Amino acid sequence: MSLFAIGDLHLSFSSEKPMDIFGDQWVDHPKRIERSWLEKIKADDTVLVPGDVSWGLKLQEAMVDLEWLNNLPGRKILIKGNHDYWWKTISKLNTLYDNMHFLQNNCYLYEEYAICGTRGWLCPNDSNFSQKDTKIYLRELNRLELSLQQAKKNRCDKIIVMLHYPPTNEKKETSGFIELLMQYQVKTVIYGHLHGKKYYDFGIQGERDGIQYYLTSSDYLNFEPLKIL
């Protein structure tokens, strides 16, 4: 059994929102994801999906995208992205599928690991951070800590954190998210949100202070799931 990650699927089978307006690299991107997924991932593998799954505004609109994802091999663990407006009640979402699990204030146990996470948000000192972002930033910090506490309640010391936003600003300064990661001795972090060569370097990649960071936006990965474990 292996653990993979790929985020920012940006599916739109119901709304037909064209992603190629953001560049030729997005042409037929669902087909490219599916082709690589089928080549790499088996039924007993697990895939982390760190947000921005569907452009659907309501759950009914997103269902065709979720069904497409559910029909691919492997177990999927999802968190909310900033464009996942369809994501409402977590308890309802977790009744929809046997093989897809939605994280919010909770954790998922994978072998000896706990998968924790939250959407995240812009961090202070980011060029786009304003006073109105403070409330959301603090709320997301609280949600991450609630998820991490669930890992500890399950006596799990090996923790993988999944975020949608990178856990720092574009200057890569320490944030409340990073402080929590260090406090709970997290060793692996995956995130998405960043698109295009101009922005890929805005997030931490590789090892820093004993934590391994992976950018897993689908376009960054050339629409191929990345093996984490």
pLDDT in tens, 51-65: 999 999 999 999 999
Q: CA 114, CA 106: separation in Å to the nearest integer?
A: 10
SS (H, E, C) 165-228: CCCCCCCCCCCHHHHHHHHCCCCEEEECCCCCHHHHCCCCCEEECCEEEEECECCCCCCCCEEC
Predicted model pTM: 0.95
First-residue to last-residue Cα distance in the chain: 9
- Average pLDDT score over residue span 110-128: 97
pLDDT at site 14:
83
pLDDT in tens, 164-218: 999 999 999 999 999 999 999 999 999 999 999 999 999 999 999 999 999 999 9
For residue 31, what are its two tokens? Answer: 């087909």
Q: DSSP H helical segments within 14-132, as ranges?
A: 29-40, 59-70, 90-93
For residue 205, what are its two tokens? Answer: 């990649």
User: What residues contact 130, with CB distance under 8 A and at least 6 apart?
Assistant: none
pLDDT at site 122:
98
